Every structure is written in structure tokens, then in C-alpha cells.
Amino acid sequence: MKYIMLIYQGSALERQAALTPEEQKQVYADYQGINQMPGVTPMPPMGLAENATTVRVEGGKTLTTDGPFVGMKEAVGGLFILEADDIDAAIEVAARVPAARYGGAIEIRPSEVYW
């Protein structure tokens, strides 16, 4: 199964900023560790949502707005692709992402072939 793992930071970025330097190093090491796990295809790290630009097309006209898509409560903070046997394996990887334990969350989306 191929899963797209979406990282939502929630309060994680603030809480991680308040950690000791050693603890912060651990957070970076944990992200590094996930990127190197078998089955994981890392994506480039995502910049802040405040620097995002959202594009919609209405009536053939391209509408560009500042910021992330407002239809969502919170913007995606990062993502990676995971090849795993089943959802239990994906849940175990998700639980190792630091954001998940610092007030954020990981959304597991199975990949789907539409065409």
C-alpha cells in the first residue's frame, strides 16, 4: 500500500521552539530517522503556511490569494510518501513523527489511482 502522510503542526512548532537544544536535536534526528526508514520517500521540507499562495480558477479566470487554502482549519505542514504493508504499519510510522507528540497530528491518506 502507498500512503501519503500529511503532517499538521498544530502547536508543535511553538512547543518545539521552547525545548532545550538537546531536545531540539532529538526532534531533528527523529525527522531524519523517518526520512531514512525503508518505505519512506521524503518530500522537500515545507515552508511556512504564511508564505503560501493559493490558486483557484473561477470562470476561466485565475484567482491568486495570499496564504493557505482557507477552506481548511489548518494548513498542511509537511508530507512524505510511505510504502507499507497495511495501515497498522503506517500508524506506527505516524506515531514516530515528532509533530504527533507535540500537539500536532499526522493524517494518513491511502494513495488512490483515479485514471
Partner 1 sequence: MVTPLDEVFREEWGRVLATLIGVLGDFDLAEDAAQEAFAIAAGRWPRDGVPANPRAWLITTARNRATDRIRRDRALAAKAGLLVAASHVEVPMNTTTIPDERLELIFTCCHPALAIEAQVALTLRTLGGLTTDEIARAFLVPERTMAQRLVRAKRKIKAAGIPFRVPPDHLLRERLDAVLTVVYLIFNEGYGGREELATEAMWLGRALTELLPGDPEVRGLLAMMLLHDSRRETRFNDGELVLLGDQDPARWDTALIDRGRAELDRAIALGGRGPYVLQAAIASLHSETPCDWAQIAALYGELARLTASPVVELNRAIAVAEAEGPEAGLRIVDGLGLHDFRYLHSTRAELLRRLGRTDEARAAYRRARELTDDGAERRFLERRLTELAGATGADNDAPAPG
Residues at the site binding partner 1, with contacts judged by CB under 8 A: 1, 3, 84-88, 90-91, 108, 110, 112
Q: Which residue has the cell 531524519?
A: 32
Q: How far is CA 57 from the centre of its chain?
A: 25
| Set of cell numbers at residue 72 | 481548511
Q: Which is nearer to partner 1, 4 or 52 (CB)?
A: 4
Q: Which is nearer to partner 1, 41 or 65 (CB)?
A: 41
Strand partners, 80: 5, 42
Per-residue DSSP letter, 45: P
